[in-house]
Amino acid sequence: MSLNAWFLASSIAWGGACEPPAINGRRDPLAARAPALGTVILEIPLFGTLPEPQSIIDALDAHGLSATLLVTQSWAAAHGDFLARTVAQGHEVGLWISLAEDLRIEERGADPDVRDWVSVMKSGRKVIRRKTGGPVQTVGLAMLPPSAEIASEALGFKAILPVERTLHDRPRRARAASTGDGRGSDGRARIIGQGPYGDGCGHMLPHWSPAALDRATSIAARGQWVRIGLPADPMAGPLVERWADEVLIPHQWRIARAADAADMARRTSTTVAKVPEVPVPKVVPIEEWKQAALALSTTGSLPRRPTANLNLTEAFYGLVLLNAATVQPTSVTLGRLDPPHEIAPHVPKRDAVLTEDEVRNAAQILKPRLRGRIPSLVSIGGHTVTSAQALQAFARVYLGETARVEPVVDPDPYAPGGGWGASIGQ
């Protein structure tokens, strides 16, 4: 199973194609910083020819953080020394069941019986125990039919990590074998879903980038139980260290190994924690605002994203703040704002030139009103312009250019919000 196959399995489980955040440079700043709402599992899947994730393990060790490695039987057999060291350092090694390698299943629709699952689980667990000298308490699976639940429970696994969401994104008890009266019962193992990810990418980082980690941070701030999948990459260590230094440690994330998280789930209430209404701060450095302003000032058709990290609503929010500021900040923290309700067809009958004072005064009037939704029409210096024209005027004045009002086309005029997207502060 390749990582591409992993994302395909995740998109099938989630009912939609994976649309990951745009990749940015690994040295770009981390924009999302927030405490985790509940428990977070850092998960590293290892199969096939994937390399040993030593740089990731070293970065986590340096900060006293633990990961759960999910390994196939064949990967464990080939990397026993690495796994033994990893367990000695306090990480967990669990079993990953490969449908193709272990069960010889090429299609997800097939459903092996309980005996098939028990056989491959016992075999894989035996190999990992022999290599690490420790218990194997977690099992990961791409599919989770009732027969796999029953087998996992019968073999005494504590945690079951499937490529699926669970009801209300909280752990549930696995099915156990039928009782003597023929009725099923619940076991002690806990099935822990991926968490409240809103796209088809699921819990795996779609790529190693600050944007992908920002996505994971925003989910951890909203989910009571969240798994974050870290792909094996020998170059990922420095980015993991920066994420730990700037987000995980200062915001005191509760990071647990999967088996420990299952124990917590057994001891805690099943009540869903209230998701915080305050948006996760998204901090955007001043250099990126200059890039966004340049992209917006030189076009008659607005791009959906003036930068990889900003949509149009976020750009509007930030450029209003920057034009309203008497002292220029070094960064802008975004809040919640919705795109225009509809795309206004009105444009001035002739091209108009707005003065810098007119644009900055309009920004100062708009600043305290940056709640709810961007107005479809904006008044600037006696002229009524569309939100797209206002955005371009804010961009041009911010760059010190002449704010000429010209016809501007929204990225998708017939879609709700014109294709601007929303600013949710994450």
Do 203 and 18 form a contact (C-beta atoms < 8 A)? Answer: no
Q: In 177-278, at which residue ranges do the beta strands (DSSP E only) sit? A: 185-191, 225-229, 254-255
186 falls within a domain:
yes
What pLDDT is recorded for position 373?
Answer: 81
The reply to whether 195 and 303 lie within a common domain is no
272 falls within a domain:
no
The reply to whether 164 and 288 lie within a common domain is no
The reply to whether 38 and 82 lie within a common domain is yes
What length is written for the chain? 426
Measured distance CA(284)–CA(333) in Å, rounded:
6
Cβ atoms within 10 Å of 209's Cβ, excluding its own:
20
- pTM > 0.75: no
Query: What is each CA distance from 143 to 289, 292, 317, 363, in whole angstroms?
Result: 44, 42, 42, 52
Domain boundary at 244, 267, 290, which?
267
The reply to whether 240 and 356 lie within a common domain is no
Nearest to 394 by CA among 421, 365, 372, 415: 365
What pLDDT is recorded for position 8?
Answer: 46
317 falls within a domain:
yes
Domain of 148: which CATH number? Answer: 3.20.20.370
- CA 132 vs. chain centroid, Å, equals 31
Q: Residue 230: give the domain boundaries.
A: 3-267
User: What are the residues whose beta carbons fall under 8 Å from the beta carbon of 65, sequence distance 6 or more?
Assistant: 42, 244, 248, 255
185 falls within a domain:
yes
274 falls within a domain:
no
Structural domains of the chain, count = 2
The reply to whether 333 and 414 lie within a common domain is yes
The reply to whether 315 and 240 lie within a common domain is no
Do 235 and 51 form a contact (C-beta atoms < 8 A)? Answer: no
- Measured over the CA atoms of residue 147, residue 148, residue 152 and residue 155, the dihedral's sign is positive
Type of residue at 179: T
Can you give the pLDDT of all 426 residues of the chain as single tens digits?
A: 455 555 444 544 444 456 777 888 888 889 888 899 999 999 999 999 999 999 999 999 999 999 999 999 999 999 999 999 999 999 999 999 988 788 876 544 456 889 999 999 999 999 999 999 999 999 999 888 889 999 999 999 999 999 876 555 689 899 887 654 445 567 889 999 998 886 667 899 999 999 999 989 988 988 899 999 999 999 999 999 999 999 999 999 999 999 999 999 988 755 555 555 444 667 788 889 999 999 999 878 888 889 988 889 889 989 999 999 988 888 888 877 788 876 766 555 556 899 999 999 999 998 887 777 888 888 998 888 889 999 999 999 999 999 988 888 888 776 767 788 887 765
The reply to whether 253 and 286 lie within a common domain is no
Angle, helices 387-398/312-324, rounded to nearest 10 degrees: 50
The reply to whether 229 and 303 lie within a common domain is no
Measured distance CA(119)–CA(13) in Å, rounded:
25
215 falls within a domain:
yes
* Rounded (to 5) percent helix, strand, coil in the chain: 35, 20, 45
275 falls within a domain:
no
The reply to whether 217 and 103 lie within a common domain is yes
Do 329 and 290 form a contact (C-beta atoms < 8 A)? Answer: no
273 falls within a domain:
no
Tell me the chain's radius of gyration from C-alpha atoms: 25
Domain boundary at 240, 267, 294, which?
267
If you search the block for the tokens 């809040």, which residue do you land on? 335
Nearest to 232 by CA among 18, 71, 17: 71
The reply to whether 181 and 252 lie within a common domain is yes
Domain boundary at 219, 243, 267, which?
267
What pLDDT is recorded for position 91?
Answer: 97
Q: In 192-244, at which residue ranges do the beta strands (DSSP E only) sit? A: 225-229
Do 127 and 97 form a contact (C-beta atoms < 8 A)? Answer: no
The reply to whether 343 and 371 lie within a common domain is yes
The reply to whether 202 and 91 lie within a common domain is yes
